A and B are shown apart, each in its own frame.
Chain A
Amino acid sequence: MTIDFGSSAAVLIVVASITGLTRAVPYLLFGGKKELPRIVHYLGTVLPGSIMIILVIYCLRNIDLAAFPFGMVELLSIGIVIVAQVTKKNTFLSIFLGTACYMILIRIVF
């Protein structure tokens, strides 16, 4: 494939600018020197509790629940992460066990 430098650069600039814009929106709205509205303070405290769980489901969105193994590999691996984190409270260990389980299972099951 031949690469058109101009149009490729344009794509890169557009993607970078829009990505930057999405990151900057809350600061453009509330980032000034003014007193921060109470509701923004409040949401800043409670919203992460919602967002992190949504983010987990976002990571799992492409599981095919209609075909074997019906997302069981992911569920089992996440189960291991939760059990490890609740009992041992060691972030690195939990991630290691969960990922190892996942990598082994996708090799065995498929």
Chain B
Amino acid sequence: MKTFRFAIKQIIPLLFSYTFVGIAFGILIHEAGYSVLWAFLSGVFIYAGAMQIVMVSLIISDVPLLMIAMMTFFINARHIFYGIGFVAKFRKMGWKYPYMVLTLTDETYSVFCSIEYPENIDEQKADFYIALICHMLWVLSCTMGALIGEILPFDMTGIEFSATAFFVVVCVNQWHQFESHIPAITGFASAIGFYILLGADYFLLPALSVSLITLTIMKERIDMQTGGVKYDN
């Protein structure tokens, strides 16, 4: 119960973004003519906000399946980079391992990146609860959106900014936490550079790849700055 409460506390900052993006998707797919069941199934099996919203427009415009597959890959390829940080951690989790792998979203990734476990908390259990509750929350929001989205009493336009704000908070925390600022500066520089060079639609993967390569090349220097980090998550 203590672990469960701890998990809930870590999720609170994401509550708005999850709920409202989920509802937005629900409304969209409902307007496209699909029943609640489709919203529910998308939430359960896809569980990727941006992709689900793109999927609705792809379905409506009758895009060929191969094209959809390729778009899905490119929109979600950033997840490949998230996974690298959690191989060591998740593969120790037994039957929960595949679930942890398949439910790592932008948001849960940033929670796991910034979380600090108190001593009396079972880390694996907490991680699993966080993954599970977030997933449930997402499925619920998608379903709710399709059910009641249109009668939502408030204009919540802009609430999705809470996700951006959360990622900024994680960046600030990492800036204080990390001894070397090279990773942050590398990410920033490559993202801005490729954004200018390639534009909004194509900068993400080159930026991630170049960061990975740069950090690999600069390993010695970063190791020096951090006084020889121990890499055991």
Q: Do A and B come from one complex?
A: yes
A residues near B72, Cβ cutoff 8 Å: 14-15, 18-19
Interface string of B41-78 (1 = CB under 8 A from A): 11001111001100100111000010011001100111
- Whether A52 and B83, one on each chain, are in contact in the complex, defined by CB atoms closer than 8 angstroms, is no
Interface size class for chain B?
35 or more
Interface string of B1-44 (1 = CB under 8 A from A): 00000000000110010000000000000001110001001100
Determine if B169 is an interface residue (Cβ-Cβ < 8 Å): yes
Complex-state Cα separation, A34 to B210, whole angstroms: 27
**A105 nearest CB neighbor, chain B only:** B158
- Whether A50 and B211, one on each chain, are in contact in the complex, defined by CB atoms closer than 8 angstroms, is yes
- Whether A25 and B208, one on each chain, are in contact in the complex, defined by CB atoms closer than 8 angstroms, is no
- Whether A54 and B208, one on each chain, are in contact in the complex, defined by CB atoms closer than 8 angstroms, is yes
- Whether B172 and A92, one on each chain, are in contact in the complex, defined by CB atoms closer than 8 angstroms, is no
B residues near A106, Cβ cutoff 8 Å: 157-158
Whether A81 touches B208, Cβ cut-off 8 Å, given contacts A19-B51, A50-B187, is: no
Determine if A66 is an interface residue (Cβ-Cβ < 8 Å): no
- Whether A57 and B192, one on each chain, are in contact in the complex, defined by CB atoms closer than 8 angstroms, is yes
Determine if B90 is an interface residue (Cβ-Cβ < 8 Å): yes
Whether A46 touches B222, Cβ cut-off 8 Å, given contacts A27-B83, A86-B172, A98-B165, is: yes
Determine if A67 is an interface residue (Cβ-Cβ < 8 Å): no
- Whether A25 and B83, one on each chain, are in contact in the complex, defined by CB atoms closer than 8 angstroms, is yes
- Whether B231 and A16, one on each chain, are in contact in the complex, defined by CB atoms closer than 8 angstroms, is no
Residue of A14, A41, A52, A103 with highest tally of chain B CB at under 10 A: A52
Whether A36 touches B81, Cβ cut-off 8 Å, given contacts A24-B101, A57-B192, A61-B203, is: no
- Whether A95 and B165, one on each chain, are in contact in the complex, defined by CB atoms closer than 8 angstroms, is yes
- Whether A95 and B216, one on each chain, are in contact in the complex, defined by CB atoms closer than 8 angstroms, is no
Q: Interface of chain A, helix or strand or loop or mixed?
A: helix
CB distance from A70 to the nearest CB of B (A): 15
CB within 8 Å of A: which B167-226 residues: 167-174, 178, 180-184, 186-188, 190-192, 195, 200-201, 203-204, 207-208, 211-212, 215-216, 219, 222
- Whether A50 and B184, one on each chain, are in contact in the complex, defined by CB atoms closer than 8 angstroms, is yes
Determine if B159 is an interface residue (Cβ-Cβ < 8 Å): yes
Determine if B129 is an interface residue (Cβ-Cβ < 8 Å): no
- Whether B81 and A27, one on each chain, are in contact in the complex, defined by CB atoms closer than 8 angstroms, is no
20 contacts between A and B (CB under 8 A): A1-B33, A22-B77, A26-B87, A40-B84, A42-B229, A43-B85, A44-B233, A46-B183, A48-B85, A49-B183, A50-B184, A52-B171, A53-B187, A58-B191, A60-B164, A61-B201, A81-B168, A91-B166, A94-B168, A99-B158
Q: Which residue numbers of B lie inside 8 Å of A, CB to CB? A: 12-13, 16, 32-34, 38, 41-42, 45-48, 51-52, 55, 58-60, 65, 68-69, 72-73, 76-88, 90-91, 97, 101-104, 106, 109-110, 113, 157-159, 161-174, 178, 180-184, 186-188, 190-192, 195, 200-201, 203-204, 207-208, 211-212, 215-216, 219, 222, 229, 231-233
